[in-house]
């Protein structure tokens, strides 16, 4: 039999050797991550032929610093201007400003040619149980269940609901303009769009316009946007997870749990009313667009999916529209020529503000051109939503790209590229009109413009967002002359960006236009609760 050796005896006998081994392993690890791996990434990696900053090719840390700085929208444009239309942003990451990249990266799979590039799991996890991060089959099921609420027929049914909140917004603005010298117009846009999406999703508004304040549930969503950026970086670079406690306070954890609880309560409250009018939750339960097909395939959503998708609809269906409205207002206030031309178009078509609706404002060519140009200069999601090549790789722009390569198309860099648009940094709505009217912009590559993403995973609420954007913008310009406050000069240019723009208040002075109908001002005390 062998005598048992105590741990103390073992360490006494082998202590020096263990110490040497540990030191050797530490030195090798440092050598690997600081010297060998960067040298491989730069000289031997399959992506070594793509241009980009040398330090970025060696390590993912420069990308992380850029992402957390809030300056991605500026830095990405600078990199593409310097290195070209395809840039290597990391050891295994490529960024594109080539219009054809949309189809190759975001488009449908083509058997024998190209597979679908899934969303990067560290950016949007398949386990999130929502339509944005879901894998292909789950995404198809969820989108089929939700599609009915965003059809043309549904928009026509929703029109009176949306118009009632726009009327309420205009009434509230008239009251505020009479009481206050300056108004944060972006806040009011947020109140309106969140009330609309609350009604369309849950059958009741959030009461933001009534209270002139954000609902606490929505405030919790906004409170965690910058924190989410840190979490994404830590998920992509797991070695940094040890730093997470330094960025996540107990207060933030508490807010996150409160948000989850309120989300569940909101959906539970809505589900108590079985016979309420149709809304997005009802569509997700029944599959309004194809109810028979859904029932045959037993396609439904779990409670977690219902809750998470309701949160997604609430944020994506309101924040992007409010952001676009604020950006459009800022750009129009900086160019009175554009404002006058919009007003002329509106007055040539409508005799009263009440004549405007979601459908007829969509037929106004110049208003449509203005909204497109505003989205080009100020896309609500300025940076890329990364995809990743499948394990066996994929063909992108005619070249083989190895597996697990991150692919991105940064919106702002794409839309401000001189290779895609003439005079790209200038606010020129005319570029979106019939090219025969302006030969100068006939060469603009409009096919590069997809502010609501591209392919089978593009924004399901894109048409609703466009309709709300045009109607609200038309009504505000019809009723008010707007002047930007000196304190908000540079509002757009000075913003940071993470997943969304980090916006400051947009202070404006509103003056009711002469000859406006008194009925609008008289309707100002109207409350959304009166209708509900």
Q: How far from 480 is each of 185, 329, 510, 513, 518, CA to CA, in Å?
A: 12, 12, 6, 5, 13
CA distances from 166 to 74, 204, 304, 355, 469 (A): 34, 15, 32, 13, 11
Q: How many CA atoms lie within 13 Å of 242's alpha carbon, on the beta-carbon side?
A: 1
For the chain, how far is it from start to end, CA to CA, in angstroms? 86
Beta-ladder partners of 483: 509
The full length of the chain comes to 532
- How many Å apart are CA 476 and CA 329, to the nearest integer? 9
25 is in an annotated binding site: no
Q: Which residues pair with 408 in a beta bridge?
A: 95
List all residues 6 or more positions away from 174 whose beta carbon is below 8 Å from its beta carbon: 479, 512, 520, 521, 524
Strand 406-408 relative to strand 387-388, pairing: antiparallel
Kindly state the greatest CA–CA separation across the chain: 107
φ, ψ of residue 410 in degrees (nearest 5): -75, 120
User: Using alpha carbons only, what angle is made at residue 442 by residues 437 and 447, rounded to the nearest 5 degrees?
Assistant: 125
Binding residues: 459
Residue numbers belonging to the annotated binding site for heme: 459
């Amino acid at each position: 039999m062998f005598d048992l050796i105590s741990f103390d005896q073992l360490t006494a006998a082998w202590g020096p050797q263990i110490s040497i081994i540990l030191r050797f392993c530490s030195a090798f690890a440092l050598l690997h991550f600081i010297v060998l791996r960067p040298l491989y990434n730069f000289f031997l990696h399959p992506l070594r032929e793509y241009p980009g900053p040398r330090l970025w090719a060696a390590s993912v840390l420069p990308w992380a610093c850029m992402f957390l700085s809030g300056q991605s929208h500026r830095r990405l444009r600078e990199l593409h201007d310097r290195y070209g239309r395809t840039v290597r942003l990391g050891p295994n990451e490529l960024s594109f400003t080539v219009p054809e990249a949309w189809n190759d990266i975001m488009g449908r799979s083509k058997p024998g040619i190209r597979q679908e590039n899934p969303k990067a799991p560290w950016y949007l996890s398949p386990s999130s149980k929502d339509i944005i991060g879901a894998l292909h089959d789950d995404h198809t099921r969820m989108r089929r269940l939700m599609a009915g609420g965003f059809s043309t027929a549904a928009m026509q049914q929703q029109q009176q609901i949306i118009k009632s909140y726009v009327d309420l917004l205009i009434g509230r603005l008239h009251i505020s303009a009479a009481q206050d010298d300056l108004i944060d117009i972006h806040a009011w846009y947020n109140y309106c769009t969140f009330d609309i999406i609350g009604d369309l999703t849950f059958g009741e508004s959030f009461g933001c316009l009534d209270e002139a304040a954000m609902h606490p549930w929505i405030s919790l969503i906004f409170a965690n946007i910058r924190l989410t950026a840190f979490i994404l970086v830590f998920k992509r670079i797991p070695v940094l997870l040890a730093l997470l406690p330094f960025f996540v306070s107990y207060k933030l954890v508490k807010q996150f749990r409160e948000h989850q609880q309120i989300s569940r309560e909101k959906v539970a409250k809505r589900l108590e009313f079985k016979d309420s009018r149709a809304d997005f939750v009802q569509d997700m339960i029944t599959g309004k667009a194809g109810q028979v097909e859904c029932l045959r395939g037993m396609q439904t959503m779990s409670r977690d999916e219902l809750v998470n998708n309701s949160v997604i609809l609430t944020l994506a269906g309101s924040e992007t529209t409010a952001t676009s409205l604020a950006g459009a207002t800022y750009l129009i206030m900086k160019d009175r020529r554009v404002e006058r031309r919009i007003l002329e178009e509106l007055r040539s078509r409508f005799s009263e503000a009440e004549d405007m609706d979601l459908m007829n404002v969509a037929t106004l060519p110049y208003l449509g051109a203005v909204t497109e140009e505003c989205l080009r200069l100020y896309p609500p999601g300025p940076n890329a939503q990364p995809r990743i090549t499948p394990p066996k790789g994929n063909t992108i722009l005619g070249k083989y790209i190895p597996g697990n390569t991150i692919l991105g198309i940064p919106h702002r860099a794409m839309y401000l590229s001189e290779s895609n648009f003439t005079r790209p940094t200038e606010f020129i709505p005319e570029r979106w009109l019939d090219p025969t009217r302006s030969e100068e912009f006939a060469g603009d590559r409009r096919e590069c413009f997809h502010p609501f993403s591209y392919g089978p995973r593009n924004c399901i609420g894109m048409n609703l967002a466009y309709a709300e954007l045009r109607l609200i913008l038309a009504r505000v310009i019809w009723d008010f002359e707007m002047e930007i406050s000196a304190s908000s000069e540079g509002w757009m240019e000075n913003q940071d960006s993470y997943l969304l723009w980090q916006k400051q208040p947009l202070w404006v002075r509103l003056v009711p236009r002469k000859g406006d109908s008194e009925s609008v001002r008289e309707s100002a005390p109207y409350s959304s609760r009166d209708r509900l």
